[in-house]
Amino acid sequence: MSYQHMLLEVSDGVALVIFNRPDALNALSPALMEEFADILDKIAADETIAAVVLTGAGKAFVSGADIEAMSRFQPLEIREYVARGHEIMFKLESLPQPVIAAVNGFCLGGGNEIAMACDFIYASARARFGQPEIKLGLIPGFGGTQRLTRLVGKSLAKELCLTGDFIHAEAAREIGLVNRVFPPDELLGKTMETARAIAAKGRLSVRAVKHLVDRGAGIDLRAACALEVEAFTNVFSSGDAAEGLNAFLEKREPNFKGTYKS
């Protein structure tokens, strides 16, 4: 697939994915969503990609749904659009590689829902977050009521979804929606720095951590810890673990291969 509304750049094991409809503040048209889904499939299948960064061109990360396109939908069409949006959010969330959202500007509605489906969020000090659908007589449609609740708790999720208010990056950090806030001209560089640091680690251990945190968060603690025992055993038997331990003992940097073989 050729892309009109998305950009994909891969270097040093990091995929940089850019929402590229700056004139429309990167609004989520059906065409953009399908391009995004195709990129996610490519990333999932590419073993050379160890980490992913999402960001937006221009003044927005993603400003939300394409309201003009959505206003033309009939009820069954809107159901298909929303269901497809959920499929794509789960596709993003289930990527084996860690994904960092670099939120450079407006991150509203569907944009906030995309950011929340990433593993964590770094933000520009100019970023603004919100679920403003209530102001249109609507509700969040791509998982906003659910992922926001899991990230910030019921009361704050209800407040944000019921008022439709925007919050600044620092406020988003204070409530646990955002991990770190940077000056605008440092955001992408700092995010790529973290992504490259993750990409330099052993791929098996990175993917195990992501899987364990995601899977364990929704189950009983004892069962989750049992998953960690099994995962630790598997990772310990890998060539990467042997290399990491030997490198430590030999006081050198490890050369991870991302394989279970020695």
Inter-residue contact 240 to 257 (CB < 8 Å): yes
Candidate list 113, 186, 228, 230, residue with the active-site label: 113
Nearest CA to 212 among 194, 196, 224? 224
Half-sphere exposure for 200 (CA within 13 Å, toward CB):
8
Distance from C-alpha of 187 to C-alpha of 108, rounded to nearest angstrom: 18
> Quick check: is 113 catalytic?
yes
Per-residue CA distances from 256 to 97, 153, 253 (Å) = 16, 38, 9
Strand runs labelled E in 33-110: 51-56, 60-62, 99-103, 106-108
Contacts of 127 (CB under 8 A, 6+ apart): 61, 103, 104, 105, 106, 107, 168, 169, 172, 178, 181
Sign, Cα dihedral of 225, 226, 231, 232:
positive
Distance from C-alpha of 25 to C-alpha of 59, rounded to nearest angstrom: 7
Candidate list 34, 35, 93, 133, residue with the active-site label: 133
> Quick check: is 133 catalytic?
yes
Inter-residue contact 192 to 14 (CB < 8 Å): yes
Active site residues: 113, 133
